A and B are shown apart, each in its own frame.
Chain A
Amino acid sequence: MPTTKRTVEVDLSTSGLDAQGRPVRVPLVTDDRGNVVPMEAPDALEPDLAGEHMLINIGPQHPATHGVLRLVLELDGETVVRCVPHIGYLHCGFEKIGEYRTYNQIIPWTDREDYLNSPGNNVAFALGAERLFGIEITERCKVLRVIAMELSRVMSHLVWWGTTCIDIGAFTPFLWLFEERERIYELFDMWIGARLTTSLTRVGGMGADIPDGWMDKLTGFVRSFPKTIDEAERMLSKNAVWVGRTIGLGVMSADEALNYGLSGPMLRASGVAYDVRRDFPYLDYETYDFDVPVGTSGDVYDRYLVRVEELRQSVRILEQAIRRLPDGPVNVDDHRVVLPPKHKATSDMESMIHHFKQVMEGPRPPIGECYVAVESPKGEKGYYMVSDGTPKPVRWRIRPPSFVNLSAIPKMVEGHLLSDVIAINASIDIVMGEIDR
């Protein structure tokens, strides 16, 4: 006997809500007279789950944790009661390795720590090493480094913006933003020959001067990029889903943000106008005209607005840097720290000795220490270097902004829903390479 498949017709026009406006929790069926009624359920009491907590593990292999972050959450229903972050899955011992490398040899390691901001890390490390050596870099080098830092900030913010869109459920802006990011990678590819791991700087200068035609390409980027910011912002800033999933989440007051050591857009969204470029300037940032965007409520939405405004300010700084780029040498004229040109190293005795000493031993800074901080896209990035007069640092400490920002995540997520943990985590803009080092 052939089995006949029996289907229950359900009126699709029912709202699925009962008279009180609550969702109907039992399946709807058609009764004998053709009316849609809830299926009669057996009288079984629902288990009393009040007070029962659940342990949920997110990560380390989860795309929404932006790397190998692992969060252990204690949930009451869907509400987070407690959050215990676990980090260290990407720990590579950069600081230990740095103690066995000369200063120029450390620069490639700085690429790999905050890998969305490699040129910015290179510049920051070079600034620290130059302070330790007592080197004053050339004017052209300063402007080139400002260009590198701001491009790198744009690059990092674009990744943050795009991936946060994905986390919150918007796919389109992600593609637009990553297209712009690709254009910056092409610029760095032209300049130094690498896209991600740039190793752009050297102690006392840059790895290379910009090639012919590079400035035109940068100008083209600076002209067209603000249009993409406007387009992507138009998709999101007044989008009901975006606003509903960001406003009022992970609020940190100004005092809390300071006490938790937040920096960068996280701190500014809470209303503290602390920008290293403004308060402890480097690379002549005090001579550039730019604004420091500051939020008022310190929630995820304000962090978003602050970062978008920072993109616009970076474009402003880039425009000024393009206008003022002076001619002249890029590297300092001191062959004890900067390699002499190859043709001189093979023809001139003194240059050859400098070349040999630098390659075989590395330049020696005087005994001393310094802490140089820059405004990285994530916040205050500091390099603390201690020298004992040998070519290798005694201690090379990275002050990772994401690490400190992430340490506030238990405070930010507690009391929010599980789905909001993803949005809050995205708003911190973490890079695990920098956190674990």
Chain B
Amino acid sequence: MSNAFQPVVAGSACATDAPAPATPRNVPLAGGDANPSAAALQRQFGDAVAGTSVVRGETNVVVANARLLDVVRWLHDDPSQRYEYLSDVTAVEFRDPEQPIEVVWHLRSLAYRQFLRLKVELPRGAELTVPSIWTVYASADWMERECYDMFGITFAGHPDLRRILMWEDYREGFPLRKDFPLRGRFSRSEQLRQALAANPEARYSMEELSVADAFADLPTEMRRRLRAGEKAGE
């Protein structure tokens, strides 16, 4: 059995002997101590950092789209930063149609107990493309897929950017965009009809079906449909 197992430690992931953190109290709306990484980023990347701010105790850094991957890689690799944990990738679309869409990355440095929010602003009318950080964080895989699925933001360099929560041939658009109605684009009866007409067998991707000659074992009818390019529910 696992003799080496040490079930209990009283420590934490922090590598330095910094004082124990405390629950934040009376966090101001703006201002306060900025994360030192923001200033370091400005020194390191100069113009690529479009602005920094502190909102509710959390440091926002707005980064130029073209340099994002460099910034993230530096934050991950540099021994003075060590942002080894990617908490979240998401996007924000504001109700004001003039405001740009923001893509947001939440990074954590466990070794230095820091939290940093990176943002890239995508102006309206421009192409919704940001670099994928999958090469730095494997966890970005599904989070970027979800962000693409919900907002239609393309993560350039992602190895397998396809829908994840909605089905692959969902064509109504991107549900979390503000121009998408809450109830969907079709009537309830039409949505029900589509769901009932869906053919769940056909929901293997062609890549999966090509595995291991499984394609040859499928029923003739299904093979014919898949050859004709049919996917689910049409």
Please list the residues of chain A having a beta carbon within 8 angstroms of any beta carbon in chain B: 52-55, 57, 72, 74, 82, 84, 86-88, 91, 93, 95-97, 100, 131-132, 134, 136, 238, 243, 247, 256, 258-262, 272-275, 278-286, 291-297, 301-302, 305-306, 309, 366, 368-371, 373, 380, 382, 384, 386, 388, 390, 394-395, 397, 399, 403-404, 406-408, 411, 436-437
Contact = CB atoms under 8 A, between A and B. Distances in A.
Interface residues of B, number: 73
A131 B110 CA distance: 22
B100 to A, nearest CB: 13
Given A291-B9, A394-B92, 20 more contacts: A55-B208, A91-B166, A134-B29, A134-B56, A243-B1, A259-B139, A261-B139, A261-B140, A274-B13, A275-B12, A278-B12, A286-B23, A296-B5, A297-B4, A297-B5, A370-B58, A371-B115, A380-B87, A408-B138, A411-B138
The main secondary structure of chain B at its interface with chain A is loop
Contacts of A100: 182
A369 B62 CA distance: 14
A260 B211 contact: no
Of the listed residues B92, B137, B163, B205, the one surrounded by the most CB atoms of chain A closer than 10 A to its CB is B92
24 contacts: A72-B204, A72-B208, A87-B164, A93-B175, A247-B1, A260-B139, A261-B138, A261-B143, A262-B139, A272-B110, A274-B85, A274-B110, A286-B21, A292-B8, A294-B8, A369-B92, A370-B55, A371-B106, A380-B87, A388-B94, A390-B95, A394-B94, A397-B88, A403-B143
A124 B85 CA distance: 20
Contacts of A297: 2, 4-5
A169 B223 CA distance: 38
A427 to B, nearest CB: 15
Contacts of B25: 136
Given A87-B165, A91-B166, A395 B12 contact: no
A88 B137 contact: no
A68 to B, nearest CB: 12
Contacts of B14: 279
A54 B214 contact: yes
B156 to A, nearest CB: 20
A30 B165 CA distance: 59
B56 A273 contact: no
B226 interface: no
A284 B55 CA distance: 22
Nearest to A365: B29
B165 A88 contact: yes
B212 A292 contact: no
Given A238-B1, A394-B95, A407-B139, A280 B182 contact: no
B106 A292 contact: no
A371 B58 contact: yes
Nearest to A371: B106
A390 B23 CA distance: 28
Contacts of A87: 164-165
B137 A261 contact: yes
B219 interface: no
A294 B8 CA distance: 6
Contacts of A97: 182
B22 A286 contact: yes
Contact of B20 (A53, A286, A408): A286
A281 B19 CA distance: 13
Contact of A131 (B56, B139, B209): B56
B139 A382 contact: no
Interface string B173-204: 00110001010000000000000000000011
A132 B55 CA distance: 10
Nearest to B204: A72
Given A261-B86, A274-B85, A281-B22, A96 B2 contact: no
B142 A293 contact: no
A395 B93 contact: yes
A370 B54 CA distance: 10
CB-CB nearest 10 A-B residue pairs: A261-B139, A53-B212, A55-B214, A407-B142, A274-B13, A88-B165, A370-B56, A278-B12, A291-B8, A91-B165
Contacts of B94: 386, 388, 394
A294 B6 contact: yes
Given A52-B212, A273-B11, A368-B56, A404 B142 contact: yes
A302 B2 contact: yes
B85 A261 contact: yes
A96 B142 contact: no
A404 B141 CA distance: 9
B8 A397 contact: no
B106 A382 contact: yes
Contacts of B86: 261
A273 B138 contact: no
B84 interface: yes
A386 B96 CA distance: 13
